Amino acid sequence: MRNTMHTQLRVGFLILAMALFGLGMLPGTVHAAVNCGTASFSTDADRDGLSDAEECNGITLSGGQGLVFADAAGSYPNLNTQGSTIPSCGPSSIRRNCLDPNTPDVFVMLVLQGQSSIPLACWSFTPINRPPTDALGGLGVTTHIILPNPNTPQNRLVTTIQNAVQLAESADTSDGDFGQTDWGAPNNALPESSPGTPFIVSFPNRIDTYLNKNGVTDQASHISVKCRNVAHELGHSLGLIAGALWNPSYGTYHYKTGSGYLMDQHIQVKGGRVIAPTKITSTEPGVNCRTKILAQGKTGTCVPFSPDIIF
């Protein structure tokens, strides 16, 4: 009987598509505020894949996907869509519902089962949205939820050049991995990844199976692990690389179980209590910068992408 969660890096078959615009800034990097009066389509101050001019004026999603807007608290009470245009942020804007040229944005396109087993609370991607100054750390990246265009459901473009990461929900209930990710980024998958663009898969029913087998039946724990799972998988596509780079003992790009980080390979259950850490620290290789692993022997070092490389 398994009592850990294992996340393998391989292509999945469901699709939750996210336009990866985040993680362009190195820790400690300071950028001057963008002047929207002179913003250019050729500059990208927050290095998130959207030009300063696009973020100053708002965009209409290139693939015609539907936007899901958050409520005043920044949560998602439902997944109803409201058009395909997201505006630039104003003084009273809800950050999840607008674009800011000074801070990175990530678009997340969900393709879920008809009766989804992933709670709405999970689509806040809290560890990713938390500021780096939070006690548990964070990336300071704003996520935006979108749903696919039913006429072109495989279209991941949110601008004419920016693709989306794809993540999907599986209905599988077997005893197996909670999530799978083809490591890389929407526009440039890494050499170690399977051919093509990255995919993410979440198996929420497997989480229920595993927790129930281990005597964890309270809904709060099930929700916590499911939300941690989708944030963990998104972390693989945002350059969150554990200290042990490509270590087969840790399931490749992970920390060792019990290290206390979002990117730990496994969760744990001890004495009926779930341990599912979500900590992110700026001292991790790859955090708060675009990263890649050198292909030689799959053991390379974490280095930032150059500013002209768009995820």
What's 129's DSSP letter?
Answer: H
pLDDT value at position 141? 85
Give the residue, 17 or 45, on which the prediction is more confident: 45
Overall average pLDDT of the 2-15 stretch: 33
Overall average pLDDT of the 64-88 stretch: 95
How far is Cα 95 from Cα 92, in angstroms, rounded to an integer? 9
pLDDT tens digits, residue range 229-280? 999 888 877 766 655 455 666 666 777 888 888 888 889 999 889 999 898 8
pLDDT value at position 69? 96
Say what the pTM is. Answer: 0.80
35: β partners: none
Strand, coil or helix: 254:
coil
Report residue 186's pLDDT band, with 50, 70 and 90 as the boundaries. Answer: low
Helix then strand then coil, % of the chain, to nearest 5: 15, 20, 65
Average pLDDT, the chain: 75
Q: In sequence order, which residues have a C-beta less than 8 Å from that of residue 223 and are 6 or more positions away?
A: 119, 121, 122
Q: How many domains does the chain have?
A: 1
Report residue 10's pLDDT band, with 50, 70 and 90 as the boundaries. Answer: very low
Contact call for residues 172 and 3 (beta carbons, < 8 A): no
Contact call for residues 85 and 60 (beta carbons, < 8 A): yes
Burial class (CB in 10 A: 0-12, 13-18, 19+), 82: exposed
pLDDT value at position 212? 93
Of 283, 26, 281, 23, nearest in space to 140 by CA = 23
- Is the per-residue pLDDT at 147 higher than 80? yes
pLDDT tens digits, residue range 46-56? 877 889 999 99
pLDDT value at position 177? 83
How far is Cα 69 from Cα 148, in angstroms, rounded to an integer? 15
30-53 burial: b if 16+ Cβ within 10 Å, else e: eeeebeeeebeeeebbbbbbbbbb
Residue 98 sits at the vertex; the CA angle it makes with 288 and 116, to the nearest 5 degrees, is 80
The rounded radius of gyration (Å) of the Cα atoms in the chain is 18
Report the Cα 278 to chain-centroid distance in Å: 13
Number of alpha carbons in the 13 Å side-chain half-sphere of residue 108: 29
Question: How far, in Å, are 170, 205, 217, 266 from residue 117 at the CA level?
Answer: 9, 7, 15, 20
The letter for the amino acid at 112 is L
Overall average pLDDT of the 145-168 stretch: 84
Structural domain that includes position 269: 1-311
Alpha-carbon torsion angle 43, 95, 139, 143, nearest 10: -90
pLDDT value at position 22? 37
What's 122's DSSP letter?
Answer: G
How far is Cα 142 from Cα 124, in angstroms, rounded to an integer? 9
Overall average pLDDT of the 275-293 stretch: 57
Of 223, 208, 253, 300, nearest in space to 10 by CA = 253
- Is the per-residue pLDDT at 194 higher than 50? no
DSSP-H helix ranges across the chain: 52-57, 126-129, 204-213, 219-237
Report residue 226's pLDDT band, with 50, 70 and 90 as the boundaries. Answer: very high
pLDDT value at position 251? 65
What's 120's DSSP letter?
Answer: G
How far is Cα 85 from Cα 64, in angstroms, rounded to an integer? 9
Overall average pLDDT of the 116-126 stretch: 94
